[in-house]
Each structure stands twice: as C-alpha cells, then as structure tokens.
Amino acid sequence: MVRASHILVGTRDTTTQLELNDEKKATKRKVAEDLMARARKGEDFAKLAREFSDDSPSKERGGEYIFPRGQMVAEFEAAAFSLNTNQVSDLVTTKFGYHIIKLSEKIPAKKTPFAEAQDKIKDYLQQQEADKLLPAYLDKVKKEAGVEYLVEKPKP
C-alpha cells in the first residue's frame, strides 16, 4: 500500500467527458509539465494540487490517496509504486489526463484478523451489490418519471 498525492490535468471535457482534441491536449500537457517542474523544484505539492488539480475527490486533501495494488488504473499504479519516498514522477498519462505523482510513503502490508475485518467485508459486499443493482433501478425510475434526454448521446 502507498500514500501518494497527485495533480491531475484532465484531458476530457468536464461536461461531456469526451476526450479533448489534440490542440487542447497539447496545451494541457504544457500546463502539466510546468506543474511537474514546480513540484520538482520544491514547491508545496499539496498547495499545487489544491490550486490546479482537476481531480475533485482528492483536490481538497492536497491530492492525497492511500491505496493498495489493484485499486487505481494501471499506469497510475505502476508509477506510484515505482517511486521512492518524496520523489515526484514524470508525467503519467491515463485515460483521465496527465498526472504528476509524489510518493509520501510505502505502507507495509499487514494481516488483519477476521473479527476486526468482518464489518468492513460486510460493508464492501453490500456496496458491491448496490453498485450492481443501481443502474437498472435508475433506468426504471427514469422511465417511470418520463425523463427525456434533450442532448444526443455521443456515439462510440
């Protein structure tokens, strides 16, 4: 498990979630490269993340995540686990955009007795089941409510 912070410079339109065109992506890449250079020069990484990151869930925490292997997209995970403590990564490109990652610490794995983990396992399994059932339920509610989409859905 690692504790790492990141700054995301997104390459998707925030409204449609469609990928930006090459010109806009090139502009975003320059922004990301500038942020990476600033972080490597020692600027406060958390402050940069709060000010510039497009990742809403982590932005207010200074870009911080704590995660084990298998939880993040492959490119992000590989970069985070290969860093040394306090090292700032090169730009990491994912389907979300350009990431600058700083590793805070590697947390050794530990075994948790079942009695301690039982409630968390139960919550996890319930959440998995809810995630599975929710899309069909939302479709049903939308249909019953007569929800009509006025914007055409993008074609794959």
Domain range summary for the chain, segments of one domain joined by +: 2-106
The predicted structure's pLDDT at residue 97 = 97
What six digits make up the tokens of 15? 């409204």
Q: What is the mean pLDDT of residues 24-32?
A: 97
Spatial separation of the C-alpha atoms in residues 89 and 27, rounded to whole Å: 20
The answer for 4, left when phi > 0, alpha when psi is -120 to 50, beta otherwise, is beta
Tokens 């794995």 belong to 109
CA 105 to chain centre: 18
Residue count (the chain): 156
**If pLDDT is split at 50, 70 and 90, which confidence band does 110 have?**
confident
Mark residue 146 as left, alpha or beta (left: phi above 0; alpha: psi -120 to 50; beta: remaining).
left
pLDDT above 90: residue 148: no
In this prediction the pTM is 0.71
How far is 140 from 132, CA to CA, in rounded Å?
14
The answer to whether 85 and 40 are in contact (CB under 8 A) is: no
The string of pLDDT tens digits covering residues 67-95 is 999 999 999 999 999 999 999 999 999 99
- The CATH code belonging to domain 2-106 is 3.10.50.40
Q: pLDDT class for 156, splitting at 50, 70, 90? A: low
**Res. 61: pLDDT tops 90:** yes
